Structure 1
Amino acid sequence: MAAPRTNLKNLTVALLTKDDITGATYGPTRKILDAVKASIDPKVSSDKAYGDGVVKYVSEEVTEIEVEFETLGLSLSDQAFLIGGTIENGVLIDGDKNQAPWVAFGFESEKANKKRRFYWLYKGKFSLFKEEFKQKEDKTEFQGDTIKGTFVLRIFDGNWRARGDEDEVGFTAAATWFDAVYEQPADAPAV
């Protein structure tokens, strides 16, 4: 039986610098601090082909993946990295020339059995996010940042996600998972 998830940490991003039929490459990884929660919601298009009055074939295709994560607060440099913009003298300038870059997004989820599951989503863009503010009253109510993104299949190989689990036989990438965006070794058998 699989153990339920109990914690989230190590939000990590990397700039996608190339994605074409010859390959995909990424820049160095960058940690996003103070993870609160994350969600991944794949959108699937499903089409059916009928023959003799019954469904004979079903075609399912991932069209996009909605990603959302919340932190205690995104630094201005993390915001500039994720949604575009420049920081000058400690001030982030938002404008019509800002362009969110393509990035990979990774994190880990701890499980009740003390093992971990690791994730990398290969290609997506994050968007400007809603900011809400509330005055302090009798009790402090912390206000973090939630950012949403849309992820898609890579041009290179059609992949959108890699997941590794310490419970799986043969998984050895835990120690280096966030050093770089995970790629299947060239000599690994095709699945």
Structure 2
Amino acid sequence: MAIVGLRNLVYAPLLTDPSEGKATYGAVKPFAPAITAGVETAQESATQYADNGPIDVMTQIGETTLSLTVDEIPMEVLAEILGQEIKKGVIAYKQSAVGPYLALGFAGNKSDGNERVVWLTKGRFSIPSDEWNTKTDSPEFQNQEIEGTFIRRDADEVFKIVGDTAVAEFAPYREEFFEEVFDYTKLDTPIV
């Protein structure tokens, strides 16, 4: 089934990402009303040749680029995801600020009524682009575009978690998928 919608754009700050153990996250918070989300994961392939022909193929997965178009990112969210300080509704952007790592989640509605749900587990955002236009006779919305770069977690090398509500075995996890950054290891535990 085709994806026909986008909703529930949320994020959670990454608190710890040890090389052994589990990554931990802060509370899941709303990001902004979503319009579009483009996710592209870089991949490079190389082919080994011997005896006058190909004998092996190796693929390396790289960073994942997220391009979002949203209605408007609230100032508090913007300050938090960019590592900037907000005072009384004002952000004075500092060049030295470093945004925190965070996870970003969203749901894509499918044409059959089900959903494809996604968490990107570790990434940072760049300062969004803005565009302002003068008013004309007909209203024209100006949206915000922001890009993020996501990588694998150190704890388990996971960079993306995807669930599909059309799969019957996913039903017990549907409601909790966005309560926190989904812990895929619970899939190994039998449901009682």
Give the TM-score normalised by the residue count of structure 1: 0.93
The alignment covers a number of residue pairs equal to 187
Matching residue of 2:48: 49
Matching residue of 1:18: 16
Deviation at 1:97, TM superposition (A): 2.8
Matching residue of 2:179: 179
Deviation at 1:159, TM superposition (A): 1.0
> Structure 2 stretches of 5 or more lacking a match?
none
Residue 173 (structure 2) pairs with residue 161 (structure 1):
no
> Structure 1 stretches of 5 or more lacking a match?
none
1:64-79 paired onto structure 2 within 5 Å: 64-79=63-78
Matching residue of 1:113: 112
Deviation at 1:101, TM superposition (A): 0.7
- Whole-Å Cα distance in 2 between the matches of residues 52 and 67 of structure 1? 41
- Whole-Å Cα distance in 2 between the matches of residues 6 and 133 of structure 1? 28
**Which 4+ stretches in 1 moved above 4 angstroms?**
none
Matching residue of 1:146: 145
Identity of aligned residues (%): 27
- Whole-Å Cα distance in 2 between the matches of residues 185 and 150 of structure 1? 24
Task: String of CA shifts for 1:63-120, please: whole Å, max 9, x gaps.
Answer: 1100011111111111112112111111112112311110101000111111111100
Distance 1:142 1:187, change over 3 A: closer
- Whole-Å Cα distance in 2 between the matches of residues 15 and 74 of structure 1? 16
- Whole-Å Cα distance in 2 between the matches of residues 34 and 78 of structure 1? 12
Q: Which amino acid aligns with 2:184?
A: Q
Q: Which amino acid aligns with 2:18?
A: D
Q: Which has the higher helix share?
A: 2
Distance 1:187 1:31, change over 3 A: closer
- Whole-Å Cα distance in 1 between the matches of residues 184 and 29 of structure 2? 21
- Whole-Å Cα distance in 1 between the matches of residues 51 and 16 of structure 2? 47
Matching residue of 1:7: 5
Q: C-alpha root-mean-square deviation of aligned residues, in Å?
A: 1.3
- Whole-Å Cα distance in 2 between the matches of residues 104 and 181 of structure 1? 7
Give the TM-score normalised by the residue count of structure 2: 0.93
What secondary structure does 1:74 align onto? coil
Task: String of CA shifts for 1:28-79, please: whole Å, max 9, x gaps.
Answer: 1111231111010000021111111211111111111000111111111111
Q: Which amino acid aligns with 2:14?
A: L
